[in-house]
Structure 1
């Protein structure tokens, strides 16, 4: 398989005062293959969301490289940066906080197309109509506002919005952690269906190893800014080499009478 995204020795240091600094991410390296999902798992404060923000160009790395299709994205000119922003979209944990409550679903989905000047007004409307169907909301949702929907439905709106520009990579930062377990399963299955339909690659961020194991092809485990373990999901789950990874596995709830 060909790598779509290559992260090499990525580091982020925050200066919290004149004399004190905190290194949130320490020399992290991994690859995401085209059409595959890379799961990054770790507890709060592990640095996984900072990695996601650096890949999405929401935060600049202190050092290291991020290559997309072989090109270092930290050295792009203005036109190439615009294309990268179309190619890489992010889905956040809190859909209600990320969605403008005054906008209709149609406007929310069309907004990225308008910002990037993609298509006519009719093209944009048609794209919104197509995407609400793809995420299972139906065209009746187009004229409603975020307050009219449940948490799981709002996350579907966020996913539709992320798909508007036909991205190649979606960075999903804790996209199901605020949802009930049954709704989590529905959203995860939707993400899998969309990946197959559109050939998407995902960077999936979560603190829950069972969720990451379900959706990912490869898994990286982060602890205090370090990538402490990485590999095929079956190997990580069945034969962890790090005590921290074992503790994440042990924290997964089990049904009494089952392993």
Structure 2
């Protein structure tokens, strides 16, 4: 029986992954959004805009934005009037988000340190659960999906934005070469940390393909699941409903 989990291209004990992932995000927290711009040529902003349009936050709703530390998704949803709880396992990421919220004069968000696999929220509490570029860093993805299902109300919706594998001919090879060889160098130049960005790229490669991840969402109890590929599947919006 294999009791190892992936940490990039490494296989590590499950109890070790959480700490190592935490160290990665503590290291990159201050430069995380700058690096996202550098790595995606600013495209991540458009992906997140589209993601929030799909979520369609409404005034009065309770929404959990998991792995939302720096606030990128929450800030986009906040004007809707929804009650948004931003959660992340990493306090350094949350601290960056709180500082950014203060700079913007936003005081309506709730910030809560949470482990996606063991949420402290009650059953059937949220109308929507969002997670953007975070689920691939969870040690046990199935547990995180089960928790998402648990805390959603009946009729609640799950939305996940995550990297996947592009199916565009030719583009995959170009992107692989760019991400493996140039992104760590960019990480070293901007954040002084090549290894953390090497892990982030490797974690993308180890994430399940779109059909496999959709099946995991269904296995967690969600229905009416859907996958919306972006740039041929380089990124994908996954969704499902608790019915």
Q: Which has the higher helix share?
A: 2
Higher gyration radius (CA): 1
TM over 0.5: no
Structure with more contact order per residue of length (Cα contacts < 8 Å, sep ≥ 6): 1
